[in-house]
Amino acid sequence: MEKNPPAPANNHLNGNKNKPPVFERFSIKVVNATGSPWAFIIALAVIVVWAVTGPLFGFSDTWQLVINTGTTIVTFLMVFIIQKSQNKDSKSIQLKLNELIAATKTASNRLIDVESLSEEDLNTLHRFYTKLASEMQKNLDLKRSHSVEEAMENTEGKLKSRK
């Protein structure tokens, strides 16, 4: 049985020159750009210009329609860009968590890929862990943490188990 999964086909870290798909590259650039202070400043400037031109156009229906149409179009398109970015981030986080679960000797492997469970199954697990947390709080002093020595012992135990 193979311990490590195969590297992704387009993994730039492994020196592979394949580029991500066009939409992915585009969405990364758009999310980075729209999340910048400059994007906010530009959007604010557009609103200020629109508001200042109100008296020039007599606050007409067309004047209002311009901003409504513009913001609706931008919002509609951004929904897809943001969703693409969130899907990728969510998948990355899930993979990292799966790696931590798989690598932690005492963690339950049943939680690997938990995101693919039904809502009913997730609710069942949530109730179980809520009850477990409630029971743990009875015996847990939140002001006390593991000592450095305990953390070192845990690390040494992990290292020994790998040999």
The three-state (H, E, C) secondary structure of 124-142, written as one string:
HHHHHHHHHHHHHHHCCCC
Domain that holds residue 128: 117-163
Q: Average pLDDT per run of 10 along the chain, which is 163 residues long?
A: 56 62 90 94 96 95 95 96 92 91 83 88 90 76 64 72 68
- Report the C-alpha gap between 56 and 58 in whole angstroms: 6
Same domain, 13 and 41: yes
pLDDT of 6: 59
Domains contained in the chain, number: 2
Residues 11 and 90 in one domain: yes
Q: Is 103 found in the same domain as 134?
A: no
Count the Cβ atoms, other than its own, within 10 Å of residue 154.
13
Same domain, 2 and 30: yes
Given a contact cutoff of 8 angstroms between Cβ atoms, the answer to whether 98 and 112 are in contact is: yes
- Rounded-to-integer distance, Cα 71 and Cα 74, Å: 5
CA distance 107 to 158: 13
The answer to whether residues 99 and 132 belong to one domain is: no
Q: What per-residue confidence (pLDDT) applies to 1?
A: 45
Check residue 82 and report its DSSP letter: H
List b or e across 3-33, with b for residues whose CB sees 16 or more CB atoms inside 10 angstroms.
eeeeeeeeeeeeeeeeeeeeeeeebeebbee
Q: Judge if 98 and 129 occupy the same domain.
A: no
SS3 28: helix
pTM of the model: 0.60
Same domain, 130 and 108: no
